[in-house]
Amino acid sequence: MAFAVRIVNYQRSKMLNICDADLVGRTLIQSDLTMNISKSYFAERIVDEKEAEQLLKNSSIINMVGTKTVELSVKIGVGSSKGVKKIDGVPFLLVFKF
């Protein structure tokens, strides 16, 4: 599995933007909601599942999109399936750990 990631230092916290690599470049649209999965926001580099797991565990703020990404976060206990929402059929989840 490949994941697209971008790490940002945001207000003294580590923010991780992560998505399924195959979503990069897509625009998700549902009713009046639009989500652009841009390379500049999500895809600074591509990582494997092992590195994605470490990044998810070690980040304070996480913006994640995609079935594989959200499933991984729930599997390792970083995310909760209760918080998952979908846009255009694609799951996304925001996590804040403080």
pLDDT in tens, 1-54: 899 999 999 888 999 999 999 999 999 999 999 999 999 999 999 999 999 999
**Range of 59's domain?**
3-96
Decide: pTM greater than 0.75.
yes
Q: Which of 16, 2, 12 is nearest to 58 (CA)?
A: 16
pLDDT exceeds 90 at position 56: yes
Q: Which of 1, 92, 93 is nearest to 46 (CA)?
A: 1
Per-residue pLDDT of 59-87, as tens digits, reads 999 999 999 999 999 999 999 999 999 99
Question: How many domains does the chain divide into?
Answer: 1
Helix (H) or strand (E) segment spanning residue 54: helix 49-57
- The CATH number assigned to the domain holding 43 equals 3.30.1860.10
Q: DSSP secondary-structure letter at 59?
A: -
